[in-house]
Amino acid sequence: MSRVPGWIGRLGAGLSQMGERMGRDEPDSGPLDDVRASRRSADAEAAAADVAADVDPEQVVPAPPAYAPAVSARPDPVAAVPWGMRVAAEAGWRLLVLAGTLWVLMKVISAVQLVVFAFVAALLITAMLQPTVVRLKRLGLPRGLATVVTAVLGFVIMGLVGWFVVWQVMDNVDTLSSQVQDGIDDLRNWLLTSPFHVTEDQINNIAKSLREAVGANTEELTSAGLEGVTVIVEAMTGILLAMFSTLFLLYDGKRIWQWVLKLVPAPARPGIAGAGPRAWRTLTAYVRGTVIVALIDAIFIGIGIYFLGVPMAVPLAVFIFLFAFIPLVGAVVSGALAVVVGLVTQGVFTGLMTLVVVLAVQQIEGHILQPFILGRAVRVHPLAVVLSVAAGGLVAGIGGAVVAVPLVAVTNTVVGYLRAYSQEAALKQSPQPRGATAVDVAPVDPPAPSPGTGS
């Protein structure tokens, strides 16, 4: 082992001499190239011989035998994974994080469901009442007085509508029950004489099964009635929260929006500041359009069933107005209710005519009124409407079904604006070469007024 530094030194000296000789040679020396090349190879062989003489034979690693299999170097694990699988893995863990975030968010919302629904209802009511505040301010009323007058009138009108419905139902319940009984008897006689060959024993068995089902579930019905007290208390609490939230949103919406913007990170604040007012305009247009369409449905269907002699035409029209806020599903349920009442009280012909009136008005509303009144700002594909209403109903019942479509419309507006804003920002940051044509990007309007500003 002590001889190793010696041969390393001689090898280095030999290589240095070879480098000096090569540096002194001229590149275009002609016939001397072969001589110098042979001299360099001889020097290299001599240096290798010196190294071989100095190395201990016991320390030399023998070459592998000829029959040994060749072992190739293992590739980098990242390079061994296909590109598509790497992309799927990158997208997969991000989707898992997003799904976990949504799951936690849904758990939090379900824990404070009453507060969330009250605030969402306040947003919808504010979007409906804000134009009145704007008009009163233009007439010279102070902002506080205009807000109080609008809120009081709005809640009084909604309370009167609810009271009228309850009063009509309670006032006509006895007459309606007798008409329903007569209608059931007429329906029974019609089934006996119909070509469906329904016998009286089959009808009696069906009635007996219904009575047994009601008797077997008496305890469940009683417990549901007791739980109804809790539901009423929660409903009153939600109504009070919605009223207070509406009052403050109408009066101080601008400051509330500015405070929300402070919670957003600074790099994303300009985009959110522009997307928020546009989302508010979309929500306002949706609420106004839905109110107008629901009012037209209620008026024309109510007039039709009134002339057909269907009892409680006015309460049924109010139900049609309220159910119109649930897209697609609400129209089907309210129309079916009117048809059933007409069928069991006035007979098969009146029921069929009620169905014709309901279908005619809803077809006109769906194909003419909604595209004209709502416009392109809140246009959502019918498939998105059906899926959002179904998902909202499964997650949060009737309230979720009501909120689902405006939420989808607002999300569509926000995503579209942020996409255009990011493209315009990227174009502004990237330098354009001379003579290059600019990429067509939808222009981003200046920020619109915040909710509650009234301008």
Judge whether 344 and 180 are in contact, CB under 8 Å: yes
Judge whether 448 and 277 are in contact, CB under 8 Å: yes
How far is the CA of 215 from the CAs of 49, 203, 209, 223, 323, in angstroms? 110, 19, 10, 14, 31
Judge whether 47 and 11 are in contact, CB under 8 Å: yes
Determine the pLDDT at residue 97. 93
Higher-confidence position of 98 and 171: 98
Residues 6+ apart with CB under 8 A from 341: 176, 310, 311, 312, 316, 354
pLDDT digits (tens, 9 = 90+) for 175-220: 666 666 666 666 677 766 766 666 667 767 776 665 565 555 555 5
Judge whether 324 and 297 are in contact, CB under 8 Å: yes
Q: Half-sphere exposure of residue 444, counting CA atoms within 13 Å on the CB side?
A: 24
pLDDT digits (tens, 9 = 90+) for 57-90: 555 566 666 666 666 677 777 777 888 888 888 8
Question: What confidence category does residue 8 fall into, taking pLDDT thresholds of 50, 70 and 90?
Answer: low
Residues 6+ apart with CB under 8 A from 32: 25
Would the pLDDT of 109 be above 70? yes
Determine the pLDDT at residue 95. 93
Give the residue among 180, 190, 376 at the shortest CA–CA distance from 286: 376
pTM over 0.85: no
Lowest mean pLDDT segment, chosen from 27-41, 195-209, 434-448? 434-448
Would the pLDDT of 50 be above 80? no
Would the pLDDT of 99 be above 70? yes
DSSP 278-315: HHHHHHHHHHHHHHHHHHHHHHHHHHHHHHTT-SSHHH
Averaged pLDDT of the chain: 74
pLDDT digits (tens, 9 = 90+) for 317-337: 888 888 887 777 777 788 888
Would the pLDDT of 411 be above 60? yes
pLDDT digits (tens, 9 = 90+) for 349-383: 888 888 888 888 888 877 777 667 666 556 677 77
What average pLDDT does the segment 221-239 reach?
A: 65
pLDDT digits (tens, 9 = 90+) for 289-300: 888 888 888 888
Most confident of 212-226, 298-312, 337-351: 298-312
